[in-house]
Structure 1
Amino acid sequence: MDAPRRHHRYYDLILAAFVVVLLCSNFIGAGKAATLDLPYFGNVTFGAGILFFPIAYFFGDILTEVYGYAYDRRAVWAGFAALAFAAIMAQLVIALPVAPGSYMANYQQGMETVFGNSWRIALASMIAFCCGSFVNSYTLAKMKILTQGRHLWMRTIGSTACGELVDSSLFYMLAFYGLWPINEVLAVAASQYVLKTAWEVLATPLTYWVIGFLKRKENQDYYDIHTDFTPFKLKV
Structure 2
Amino acid sequence: MSATNKTRTYKYYDFVMVAFVTVLVCSNLIGPAKISQINAPFFGTLTFGAGVLFFPISFVFGDILTEVYGYARSRRVIWTGFAALAFASFMAWMIVALPPAPFWHNQQAYEVAFGSAWRVSLAGLVAFAAGEFVNSVVLAKMKVWTQGRWLWTRTIGSTIFGEGVDSIIFYPLAFYGTGIIPDDKLPLVVLAQFIAKVGVEVLLTPLTYKIVNFLKKAENEDFYDTNTNFNPFSLEAK
Is TM more than 0.5 here? yes
Match of 2:202 in 1: 201
Q: Deviations over 1:39-58 (max 9, x none)?
A: 11112222211121111000
Q: Deviations over 1:91-140 (max 9, x none)?
A: 22122222112xx1x31111222222253332111100111111111101
Q: 1: distance between equivalents of 2:213 and 2:86?
A: 33
Shift in CA distance, 188/32, structure 1 to aligned 2, threshold 3 Å: farther
Q: Deviations over 1:189-217 (max 9, x none)?
A: 21111111111111111111100000000
Alignment map for 1:136-147 (pairs within 5 Å): 136-147=135-146
Q: 2: distance between equivalents of 1:182 and 1:42?
A: 23
Alignment map for 1:1-236 (pairs within 5 Å): 5-101=7-103, 104=104, 106-177=105-176, 178=178, 179-236=180-237
Deviation of the 1:35 alpha carbon: 2.2
Q: Deviations over 1:58-115 (max 9, x none)?
A: 00000000000011111111111011111111122122222112xx1x3111122222
Q: 1: distance between equivalents of 2:184 and 2:215?
A: 43
Q: 2: distance between equivalents of 1:204 and 1:189?
A: 23
% of aligned pairs identical? 55
Q: 1: distance between equivalents of 2:84 and 2:118?
A: 13
Shift in CA distance, 30/186, structure 1 to aligned 2, threshold 3 Å: farther
Moved more, 215-224 or 91-100: 91-100
Deviation of the 1:8 alpha carbon: 0.6
8 Å CA contact 1:27, 1:118 repeated in 2: no
Q: Deviations over 1:137-170 (max 9, x none)?
A: 1101000001000010111111111111101111
8 Å CA contact 1:18, 1:59 repeated in 2: yes
Aligned Cα root-mean-square deviation (Å): 1.6
Q: Deviations over 1:11-37 (max 9, x none)?
A: 101111111100111111123332222
Q: 1: distance between equivalents of 2:51 and 2:147?
A: 34
SS at match of 2:37: strand
SS at match of 1:180: coil
Q: 1: distance between equivalents of 2:115 and 2:165?
A: 26
Moved more, 85-94 or 64-73: 85-94
Q: Which amino acid aligns with 1:188?
A: V
8 Å CA contact 2:134, 2:162 repeated in 1: yes
Flag the structure with higher helix content.
Answer: 1
Structure 2 residue runs of 5 or longer lacking an equivalent are none
TM-score for both structures, normalised by structure 1? 0.93
SS at match of 1:36: strand
8 Å CA contact 2:53, 2:200 repeated in 1: no
